[in-house]
Amino acid sequence: MTLKLKVRRVGNSLGIVLPKEALVQLNVQEGDTLTLTAAQDGVRLTATDPEFSRSMAVFESLNQRYRNTLRELSK
Mean pLDDT of 34-59: 83
Q: Is the dihedral of CA 23, 34, 48, 46 positive or negative?
A: positive
Q: Please, what is the Cα angle at 41 between 39 and 43, to 5 degrees?
A: 45
φ/ψ of residue 36, rounded to 5: -105, 120
- Which is it for strands 35-39 and 13-16: parallel, antiparallel or unpaired? unpaired
**23: pLDDT strictly greater than 80:** yes
**Cα 3 from Cα 14, distance rounded (Å):** 18
**Cα 33 from Cα 56, distance rounded (Å):** 18
- pLDDT-derived band at 20 (thresholds 50, 70, 90) equals very high
Regarding pTM above 0.85, the answer is no
- What residues does each domain of the chain span? 7-73
